[in-house]
Amino acid sequence: MFQQMASEEPVHAWHWIDIEDHEDDLPGIDIETFPTIVILNHAGEFCFAGTVEPRPDMLKRLVQSAHTGHLQLSASDAEPWMPVKALLGLG
């Protein structure tokens, strides 16, 4: 699903992070359910972080909502996800 979305939506940057390969780089993030998606906007602000059903239509709606500014995490909800930005070289 991820690769399909990346090819269908090339205007967005898509990154796959395997948590098993980066467990030490992601302290405080306890991912137990898959897929877990993190969406940042063009300014690097967190719009969404959580588990989604593995359905392309749901992911498309989330990306669209983030792109139009209708999704945004609070600073406290985004805090545990900050290491993701560092892994991507954004923070």
Compute the distance between CA of residue 91 and CA of residue 35 in angstroms, rounded to an integer: 23
What integer pLDDT is reported at residue 45 of this predicted model? 94
- pLDDT given for residue 54 in this prediction: 87
Paired residues of 37 in beta bridges: 50
Give the residue ranges of DSSP H helices in 2-81: 2-8, 56-67, 75-78
Q: So what's the pLDDT on residue 33? A: 84
Q: What is the pTM of this model?
A: 0.87
The burial class, CB within 10 Å (0-12 / 13-18 / 19+), for 48 is buried
pLDDT of residue 64: 92
**pLDDT averaged over consecutive 10-residue blocks of the chain (91 residues)?**
85 89 86 89 93 89 93 94 91 71
